A = this chain, B = another copy of it.
Amino acid sequence: MGKLFSINNYNEIKEIFHDKGLKCTPQRQAVLKVLQESKGYLSISKIHRNVKELLPGTGLATVYRSLETLIELNLVVKVHLEDGCHSYAVAPKGHRHPIVCTDCNRVIDYTECPMEDLSKKLTKDTGILIQNHFLQLFGTCKQCQT
């Protein structure tokens, strides 16, 4: 089927798949595109609904599988909400943290990681070897502060 959508960085995306021996299928592209265009996190069912508009007949199982793949490739992140988990958003590049606007669901990319220094300090202080962390910020974005 080949290139279906005008994802701006299509060749880049294609390479990321091929580097890991994975196929660049229209379904995977569609899931990514839906998230790229939403500018916010989306639940599985919303992703499925939007994907079907681009690619009617796409199965729910495929959406689950695509998200799994996209997360492995670091193209997508899972967003954990206070209750009702498992929404998804496009991944910021590198190690960053998402700021979720609780009004419009938009996900804003936060580029500084306050944990780098802290992790070292903590390991030194407590003896616990910090290996990973999970940080999300919730707030109200500029546009929603009216």
Contacts and interface: CB of A to CB of B under 8 A. Distances in A.
B114 A128 contact: no
Interface string A78-92: 101011011000000
Interface residues of A, number: 35
Interface string A88-130: 0000000000010110000010100011001100110011111
Given A85-B80, A115-B114, A99 B145 contact: no
A141 interface: yes
Nearest to A117: B114
A130 B99 contact: yes
A31 B108 CA distance: 37
Contacts of A64: none
A124 B130 CA distance: 29
Contacts of A137: 115, 119, 122, 130, 132-134
26 contacts: A80-B80, A80-B85, A80-B134, A82-B132, A85-B85, A99-B130, A102-B131, A102-B132, A110-B122, A114-B118, A122-B137, A127-B145, A128-B141, A129-B139, A129-B140, A130-B138, A130-B139, A131-B138, A132-B137, A132-B139, A133-B136, A133-B137, A134-B137, A134-B138, A135-B135, A135-B136
